[in-house]
Structure 1
């Protein structure tokens, strides 16, 4: 695509070139179909409208994978925590083919239209809202430090070599609440896209934001590469008409004026008021959905991340004689959430172990044995059990997480030397 074409593409000119019209037809079909099927929580209530189409795609994509592409990987794993499944990429390819075929058919059927200014305007509205609402979603959840939580006890005891690239990125980003709030504020600034007068500034912000998200996803193997790339390309799409102007501003030291996207004229007063009412109502529904969603997230966090009454990191003390109830190679045990403990053996290999805690009777079932337990004033846990006429006692020596270098090293204005441990 030449520079001159990019400069002229999708502007409000009276007559468009054939190449510009075909490019727009393809973009129009592809973007709308992508937004409709890959809503990702952006537009409120859309998940109820597009559900039949999503179910239809879940039938078409496997058939297309098997009979047309002869694809060998598992194409029946639909979008889950990963947005980069085989199904996602193949469905994206199907949307590309549909858009290409639709653009060709549209070109053959429409020989008279000189431009698509009105369609372009409404397409930019959908794109602006799609980017803004999705990033506001992500930004809001970062403000409450819920997307990337701070490292818990299990993470603190996990050697660096056991981290996956995504786990490393999530731990790094989640460590700082302040940085999460900063990321959340930057993403929420995409609200500027909701207004025509600030749309260019908003697109510049979301372009930079989406580049950062996209590169983290690529280089740390976070499976949201498809959607983050889409956010970047859609932000770039919004800036296409302004590239020449922005180039002059940043590289040629020119005084420039950013043209405002011309909204289609509404002659009737009721039409103008209806559009305004719809916008206010739409944003109101979105705001309500955001508020209720954050409340739900907070409830889920308190429910699923409820700390165990024995919450802590403990070293298993074996100084009180032989112990037969617990494996000899158990070295450290971590009680964090729920009724699943993480054990580190003498070789520091991780083992997951289920346990049951009865706080009313002060008993804990661990390794299929029922122990009486007592929590000492210093936080240590003493276990005891009658076995073969003898009382076997085990002591869990508690470690204070605040002693970890990652926890005790705070912010410092003055540093005479680098503190890199």
Structure 2
């Protein structure tokens, strides 16, 4: 497959012009309002527009659609809120009306080659920045982290579909890195001569992401679908060549879009310099945002000094402080713990730990605690006439079946448990 530069000046068909006008308005609106942090500093630019949108969408939902769900909840980690879906509907309606008005006012236009080029540039950079943003945090094992101690103690039936998917991806650091690396390869979209390669990688990546989002109830269905559709948009001019090569097995030529206005060397130097600066800014913001994200994770998920899974040793004594139905306790993050009772039901506990005084508040009682050399914990509660002692036996997470088996080239039998 060879590559040439397109200098097509043929007139577009009526349907092609109508479709492009609709797509142009809808895509630009989506990039503007559904950016999700793809472009550095973009939220600062769009903030005035978003304030108007945040007022208009609830009004439209209530007075025009008479929508019953809570349309006032803004995107919050979920990109599939009622607010987002109503906003998408508004964008589609706006694109439809806008394309009609545009067609009336500009009905003599023969083609939109220049306009199509710049729209493609926007789509290319949007897709690349978006996927690199997601890919980098996957490579850092920060989007889907390893299973926590709490996860290891949860029975499968307590997992949500999304939690199951996150645990699956997070289990293997290497797999997370590989998936992230494939997403980062969308960087081929930054360059005109590798647009087709970048778009094909993006289509494959987006299909995988869409499948996970759709079938594991991950609330990023709208965005992942948009990534897929936008990648297809970039491939439309090359579908015939791809069909000849991939389906018919014939020689084919890729036609690259010609840069419409930067034919002179000086202008090309200027645009290449601007491009290099933008990519440098994007790269710097990726590094700094990744470091900041890791810092926030470490602060928010600060580990407990008693970090571990513990079995509550049973004895014949009845304790006033700890119910006899408690069977295990997990200390993972500061300020909280999770108890499992005799029926394996989770009981969330807020705790206060004073490492200097060696005291811990648990179940509304304050205990003195002692860390033993083998990792076990002794809790002591002194009453007026007696002393209660409770032993917490530490469980090694490496003993869990999920943690035992690593990569092996040779396996005589499958270990499917």
- When normalised by structure 1's length, the TM-score is 0.96
Mapped to 2, the partners of 1:219 and 1:19 lie a distance apart of: 35
> Please, which of 18, 32, 37 is the counterpart of residue 28 of structure 2?
32
> Please, which of 372, 382, 387 is the counterpart of residue 386 of structure 1?
382
Give yes or no for contact 1:363–1:373 (8 Å, CA) kept in 2: yes
Query: Structure 2 stretches of 5 or more lacking a match?
Result: 1-5
Q: Which residue of 2 aligns with 1:333?
A: 329
Alignment of 1:293 onto 2:321: no
Aligned length: 412
Mapped to 2, the partners of 1:133 and 1:13 lie a distance apart of: 31
Give yes or no for contact 1:311–1:336 (8 Å, CA) kept in 2: yes
Q: Which residue of 1 aligns with 2:341?
A: 345
Mapped to 2, the partners of 1:12 and 1:188 lie a distance apart of: 32
1:409 Cα deviation after fit: 1.0
Query: Structure 1 stretches of 5 or more lacking a match?
Result: 1-9
Give yes or no for contact 2:131–2:184 (8 Å, CA) kept in 1: yes
> Please, which of 31, 36, 50 is the counterpart of residue 54 of structure 1?
50
Within a 5 Å distance, the mapping from 1:22-421 to structure 2 comes to 22-266=18-262, 269-319=265-315, 321-421=317-417
Q: 1:209-261 CA distances to partner (integer Å, 9 max, x unpaired)?
A: 00000010000000000000000000000001111110110111101111111
Q: Which residue of 2 aligns with 1:7?
A: none
Mapped to 2, the partners of 1:367 and 1:68 lie a distance apart of: 52
Find runs of 4+ consecutive structure 1 residues off by over 6 angstroms. none
Secondary structure, counterpart of 1:323 in structure 2: coil
Secondary structure, counterpart of 1:395 in structure 2: strand
Q: Which residue of 1 aligns with 2:3?
A: none
Mapped to 2, the partners of 1:54 and 1:214 lie a distance apart of: 26
1:265 Cα deviation after fit: 3.0
Mapped to 2, the partners of 1:11 and 1:326 lie a distance apart of: 80
Mapped to 1, the partners of 2:374 and 2:392 lie a distance apart of: 11
CA change 1:269–1:412 in 2 (3 A) is closer
CA change 1:11–1:320 in 2 (3 A) is farther
1:12 Cα deviation after fit: 4.0
CA RMSD of aligned residues (A): 1.3
- When normalised by structure 2's length, the TM-score is 0.97
